[in-house]
Structure 1
Amino acid sequence: MRVHVVSDVHGAADALARAGEGADALVCLGDLVLFLDYADHSRGIFPDLFGRDNADRMVALRTARRFEEARALDRELWADLDRQALIEQAVRKQYAELFAAFPTPTYATYGNVDVPGLWPEYARPGTTVLDGGTAEIGGLVFGFVGGGLRTPMRTPYEVEEEAYAAKVAALGRVDVLCSHIPPAIPELCYDTSARRFERGSQALLDAVRSVQPRYALFGHVHQPLVRRTRVGRTECVNVGHFNHTRTPWALQW
């Protein structure tokens, strides 16, 4: 059995259409939407609306953790526009392309920049969406936890720690623990390019320690200090920034 795993697709529909080649199934750990590409500031919903110069300014402020100034710039740019309508229109366009690229079967969960309310409109037969639920793939139980925890970035799908922990607890015993964000292990959470710690989940780490699945798979941190580590018998693996690598991570058994 061979499963390909991707995360942080961020608009790479062309590569996503090829991600399942040679695999029995595809697993997607979220962040389909591309709002602003920190490596190429000309790509995404934000520069499409406001131009490259404003994207450069926004990235500089966020990277410097000057979040209040970033929010002030955001308010200024959106002042005379219907924010909700324009973002939804752009997200819908991306989702139409991305969900059409999913092979059959695909098992997917949400990232922190995704909009879960829109997924039922675009998920086709053959795509199973899970968040706090499990699926059996090739005789192994895969558990899925979507979204992220609250941060100053205020991305669309962030939840409180208690709600996130409840989704983790609902999984029970699994062979492969799949999430968008990593367990709260510092070296897995530190982004060497952004020079900051992203939020990891203590509930995920607790589940890894108690359940000891074969694998804990995740994304979210695009340039991690450490891409994999072991906790007991569990191999914790950042499956990679798919928008950059265009290559899925392969799990074979």
Structure 2
Amino acid sequence: MRPDFFPIEDDDEELFGIMAECVDFLEQGESSRPYIPRMVVERDRYGADERLMAAYFNENPKDEYLRRPTSDDIQRLYARHEELHGFPGMLGSIDCMHWPWRNCPKAWQGQFTRGDHGHPTIMLEAVASYDRWIWHAFFGTAGSNNDINVLNQSPLFREIIEDRAPDSSFNVNGTHYKKGYYLADGIYPEWSNFVNRIHALKMRSGRNLKSFKKVPGRMSSVEDAGYAISSLKDGDDIDPIVLPERTFEERIALHQRTSKELRDRNVHHALRHDLTEHIWRLPA
């Protein structure tokens, strides 16, 4: 405001005071409710995931339920899943769930709301075995995403890509596979570690079909049960993970190789064929 256009005199001091009060009133809004300044909420999903991993997925766990499976755990899961459902090499079921966010800020509701839900949600990706043991959980992705978007952000295959995952090889129909697989919905990609759940149901005979259908639903039931199951007992010890020293070029080459093996569609279709042949040989 130029002072030569609006010279300030003694008689105008009261007018300028009223104008200042009007400006403050307009900035606060015309609502009768008290003015509450906006708070900036910093979102750090990757940091939250790291804290979750540090708190629950310890490298030397003793009493933790949420943790990565060891080689003994993998063999136990293989044996139990094959006994119950006839599927060798199955680690568990992977799925995403939407958790309602009642107090979602209005500015974020468009990002966290998907049309088929109609309200803000936060997505949880989890892997569960037959005994409700959830050993992988990735939480915090906006509800407007789908399962593929969450998978591309989650650290589920971090150990496989870094080549430090425990041995999970198995044989089916005379073919040797390096890594176990997860039952997944049809939206998941045709990777070497996924088997479509609908296709698996078609393969399975009617003898254990009812119990097989319960596997994916166990992840949702844990939400109400409030606990998970682990085979680790007091006094058990796990050797710490020792990462090999690699140069930058070696890490790049390793990442390219493991990522290519993970996304190999030929292995996916070969595994599905071998599982089909294996299921049809089972006694009725």
- Determine which structure has more spread, i.e. the larger CA radius of gyration: 2
> Fold-level match, TM-score > 0.5?
no
Q: What is the TM-score normalised by the length of structure 2?
A: 0.26
